[in-house]
Amino acid sequence: MSLLDARDSVLFVHAHPDDETISTGALIAELVARNIRVFLLTATRGERGEVVPGPLANLAGTEELTRVREQELQQAAQTLGIERQFWLGEPPARATGRAARRYRDSGMRWIHAGLAGPADDTDDQSLVAAPLDEVTEDVSALIEWLNPSLVVSYDENGGYGHPDHVRIREAALAASGAQTIPFAEILPAATPTAPPDGDDDGPGGPGSTDAEYFTLDAHLETLKAALASHATQLTVDGPEIIHSGGQRQPIETAVGLRLV
């Protein structure tokens, strides 16, 4: 029996705009095709994201980038068929009795190819600076409000080590447990690499024997269209995407899930 059987709604929990499409876009399109309602919780606006070279490059580090990335996410979500997208810290993804807040992108640095670590500087409003209990309670508030059949987020390494990915995964897992909702971690078939001149030693592909893998080639064109929505962050180039730092990554329609 597939872990997607008998699901009527799924909540995806991601760290930044574009994560939902790069790592789970084909899966989201598949769920929508199965008439399963899909919701998305995004933790930050990706304020510290690099911007692709070209006419959009002047957005880097500006408040305008935040606004543009919000629009990019809205467009990608519509393309994939996501029913509703939420921001962490804003009701209903905010614990009762707390004023709304905005969690900021914590930034990252490359440790070596395929593995990211904490940035050298961190904003005190960033996701990783917030108490884990507060983040967990905000995720839990949305889960209680939606009552999804399944919550999906990153594996314990956040896919490739980004501190925001790791933190939101910790919160999503804890919140799912508190609300007794099943939690599945993403086991990607591919991860971004460090910039082209970096060490190309990276983590291997998924090898878990208890995971369920889905090959979703039928959704390739939808996935490409959703990826193209995130024009500040990446460029679609045939079967690959080129990240803002020049890293190339295959467009992957295969994804694994494992219940935790």
Residue 172 clears pLDDT 50, i.e. is over it: yes
Measured between alpha carbons, how far is 180 from 20 in angstroms, rounded to an integer? Answer: 23
Residue 2 clears pLDDT 90, i.e. is over it: no
pLDDT of residue 53: 92
Indicate the pLDDT class of residue 189, thresholds 50, 70 and 90. low
**DSSP for 136-174?**
HHHHHHHHHHH--SEEEE--TTTTT--HHHHHHHHHHHH
Measured between alpha carbons, how far is 104 from 220 in angstroms, rounded to an integer? Answer: 31
Is residue 147 assigned to a domain? yes
Q: Are 49 and 16 in contact (CB under 8 A)?
A: yes
Q: In what order do the strands lie in the sheet with 248-250?
A: 234-237, 240-243, 248-250
pLDDT of residue 160: 86
Is residue 4 assigned to a domain? no
Is residue 1 assigned to a domain? no
Measured between alpha carbons, how far is 216 from 222 in angstroms, rounded to an integer? Answer: 11
pLDDT of residue 1: 77
Across residues 177-183, what is the average pLDDT? 97
Across residues 166-174, what is the average pLDDT? 98
User: What's the token pair of residue 50?
Assistant: 């690099």
> Domain with 97 in it: what CATH number?
3.40.50.10320
Residue 149, number of CB atoms within 10 A of its CB: 16
Which residues span the domain enclosing 177? 9-259
Across residues 161-182, what is the average pLDDT? 96
pLDDT of residue 113: 80
Is residue 164 assigned to a domain? yes
Is residue 2 assigned to a domain? no
pLDDT of residue 207: 42
Task: Look at 208 and 6; give whichever has higher pLDDT.
Answer: 6
37: β partners: 9
Q: Between the CA atoms of 50, 51, 53 and 55, what dihedral angle is there, to the nearest 10 degrees? A: -150
pLDDT of residue 220: 98
Indicate the pLDDT class of residue 102, thresholds 50, 70 and 90. very high
Task: For 47-85, write each residue's pLDDT tens digit.
Answer: 998 999 999 999 998 999 999 999 999 999 999 999 999
Is residue 3 assigned to a domain? no
Residue 5 clears pLDDT 60, i.e. is over it: yes
Q: Which residues of 84-95 are buried (b: 16+ CB within 10 A; e: fewer)?
A: ebbbbbeeebbb
Is residue 140 assigned to a domain? yes
Is residue 42 assigned to a domain? yes
For residue 17, whether the previous peptide bond is cis, meaning omega lies within 30 degrees of 0, is: no
| Total domains, the chain | 1
Residue 161 clears pLDDT 60, i.e. is over it: yes
pLDDT of residue 58: 93
Indicate the pLDDT class of residue 199, thresholds 50, 70 and 90. very low
Task: For 109-160, write each residue's pLDDT tens digit.
Answer: 878 888 888 788 888 899 999 999 999 999 999 999 999 999 999 999 988 8
User: What's the token pair of residue 230?
Assistant: 């995130």
